[in-house]
Structure 1
Amino acid sequence: MMKPKSILFVTVVCGLFRLSTATAQQKDSLAIDLNTALEIALNENPTVKVADMEITKMQYAKKSAYGALLPEINLIGQYQRTIKKQTMYMDNGFGLGGDVNPEDFEPEELEIIEVLGKLMTPSGGDGNGGFQVGRWNMYTGGVNVSMPLVVPSLWKNIQMSEVDIQLAMEQARSSKINLVNQVTKSFYSFMLAHDSYLLFKQTYATDSINLENIKNKYEQGIAPEYDVITAEVRLKSLIPSILQAENMMKIAELQLKMLMGIDDDVPLKVVGTLSDYDEVMFDAIIPADTSLMSNSDLKKFDLQTNKVQKLYEMQKLQYAPSLVSSFQYTYISQNNDFKFSNYKWDPYSTIGVTLSIPIFNGGQRHHNLKQTEVQLSQLRYQRVDLERNLKLAVKNNIDLINKSVKQIMATQSSVEQAKKGYEITLKRYETGLGTIVELNAAALAVTNAELQYKNAIYDYLAAKADLEKVLGYKITPIDSKN
Structure 2
Amino acid sequence: MTFKLSIAFYFAATLILFAQSDQRTAMTLEECISLAIENNLDLKATKLTKETWDVNFKQNKNALLPNVNGSYNLGVANGRSIDPFTNGIVNQEFTFSNAALGLDVVAFNGFRLINRWKQVRLNLKSAEMEVEADKQSLILNVTLTYLRVLNAQDLVKLAESRLKTTQGQLDRLRSLYEEETGNPAEYHDLQGQMALDAANIIESKNVLETELINLNTLTNIEESITVAPLNIELDVEMYGYTAQDVFEQALQVFPTIKARDLSLEASEKAIAVARSHYVPEISLFANLNTNYSSAARLFNESGTSIVGTNDFVTINNQEYSIFTQQTNFTSDHIAYRDQFDNNLNSSIGVSVSVPIFNGFRAKNNVALEKIKREEAQTALAQIKLDLKQSIKQSYNAMLTAYERYKLLQNQVDAYNESFRINEIRFNNGVSNSVDYIISKNNMDNAQTNLANVNYEYALRVRILEYYRGNM
Q: TM-score, normalised by structure 2?
A: 0.79
- Of Structure 1 and Structure 2, which has the larger fraction of its residues in strand? 2
Change (3 A) 1:226 1:314: same
Q: Who is 1:100 aligned against?
A: none
Q: Who is 1:203 aligned against?
A: 162
Pick from 62, 65, 86: which aligns with 1:67? 62
Identity of aligned residues (%): 16
Change (3 A) 1:153 1:294: same
Pick from 82, 91, 101: which aligns with 1:143? 101
Pick from 180, 184, 188: which aligns with 2:143? 184
Deviation at 1:320, TM superposition (A): 2.1
Deviation at 1:359, TM superposition (A): 1.8
1:64-109 C-alpha deviation (Å, 9 max, x unpaired): 22211222222212467588658xxxxxxxxxxxxxxxxxxxxxxx
* Partner Cα separation in structure 2 for residue 341 and residue 12 of structure 1: 102
The question of whether the paired residues in 2 share the 8 Å contact of 1:332 and 1:348 is answered with no
SS at match of 1:76: strand
Unpaired runs of 5+ in structure 1? 87-130, 476-482
1:385 and 2:382 are equivalent in the alignment: yes
The question of whether the paired residues in 2 share the 8 Å contact of 1:48 and 1:176 is answered with yes
* Partner Cα separation in structure 2 for residue 83 and residue 259 of structure 1: 73
Pick from 446, 449, 453: which aligns with 2:450? 453
Letter paired with 2:423: L
* Partner Cα separation in structure 2 for residue 400 and residue 59 of structure 1: 41
SS at match of 1:143: strand
* Partner Cα separation in structure 2 for residue 395 and residue 315 of structure 1: 41
Deviation at 1:405, TM superposition (A): 0.6
State which drifts further: 227-236 or 369-378.
Answer: 369-378
1:463 and 2:460 are equivalent in the alignment: yes
Deviation at 1:210, TM superposition (A): 1.1
Q: Who is 2:327 aligned against?
A: none
1:309 and 2:268 are equivalent in the alignment: yes
Change (3 A) 1:443 1:66: same
Q: Who is 1:193 aligned against?
A: 152
Deviation at 1:172, TM superposition (A): 1.6
* Partner Cα separation in structure 1 for residue 167 and residue 79 of structure 2: 104
Deviation at 1:388, TM superposition (A): 2.2
1:421-455 C-alpha deviation (Å, 9 max, x unpaired): 11111111111110111111111112211221122
Q: Who is 1:256 aligned against?
A: 215
Q: Who is 1:10 aligned against?
A: 7
Aligned runs of 1:62-461 on 2, under 5 Å? Answer: 62-78=57-73, 133=89, 138-151=96-109, 152-265=111-224, 267-272=225-230, 276-277=233-234, 279=235, 281-282=237-238, 285-286=241-242, 289=245, 290-291=247-248, 292-334=251-293, 344-345=339-340, 346-461=343-458
1:29 and 2:25 are equivalent in the alignment: yes
Deviation at 1:39, TM superposition (A): 4.0
The question of whether the paired residues in 2 share the 8 Å contact of 1:415 and 1:453 is answered with yes
The question of whether the paired residues in 2 share the 8 Å contact of 1:195 and 1:273 is answered with no
The question of whether the paired residues in 1 share the 8 Å contact of 2:257 and 2:383 is answered with yes
* Partner Cα separation in structure 2 for residue 372 and residue 21 of structure 1: 61
Deviation at 1:31, TM superposition (A): 4.0
Letter paired with 1:347: L
Letter paired with 2:213: L
Alpha-carbon RMSD across the aligned residues, in angstroms, is: 3.2
* Partner Cα separation in structure 1 for residue 376 and residue 21 of structure 2: 54
SS at match of 1:433: coil
Unpaired runs of 5+ in structure 2? 297-332
Deviation at 1:20, TM superposition (A): 4.9
* Partner Cα separation in structure 1 for residue 281 and residue 8 of structure 2: 90
Pick from 32, 35, 41: which aligns with 2:36? 41
Q: Who is 1:115 aligned against?
A: none
Deviation at 1:139, TM superposition (A): 3.1
Deviation at 1:132, TM superposition (A): 8.0
* Partner Cα separation in structure 2 for residue 400 and residue 420 of structure 1: 30
Change (3 A) 1:64 1:192: same
* Partner Cα separation in structure 2 for residue 297 and residue 409 of structure 1: 35
SS at match of 1:293: helix
Letter paired with 2:101: V
Deviation at 1:156, TM superposition (A): 0.8
SS at match of 1:318: helix
* Partner Cα separation in structure 2 for residue 366 and residue 79 of structure 1: 47
Q: Who is 1:474 aligned against?
A: 470
Change (3 A) 1:9 1:371: closer
Deviation at 1:349, TM superposition (A): 2.4
Change (3 A) 1:392 1:342: same
Change (3 A) 1:395 1:82: farther
1:371-396 C-alpha deviation (Å, 9 max, x unpaired): 22223233334433332222122111
* Partner Cα separation in structure 1 for residue 265 and residue 395 of structure 2: 32
The question of whether the paired residues in 1 share the 8 Å contact of 2:32 and 2:142 is answered with yes
Q: Give the number of aligned pairs.
A: 422
The question of whether the paired residues in 2 share the 8 Å contact of 1:204 and 1:235 is answered with yes
Q: Who is 1:101 aligned against?
A: none
Change (3 A) 1:9 1:356: closer
Change (3 A) 1:386 1:134: farther
* Partner Cα separation in structure 2 for residue 365 and residue 355 of structure 1: 18
Letter paired with 1:140: N
Letter paired with 2:142: V
* Partner Cα separation in structure 1 for residue 377 and residue 407 of structure 2: 45
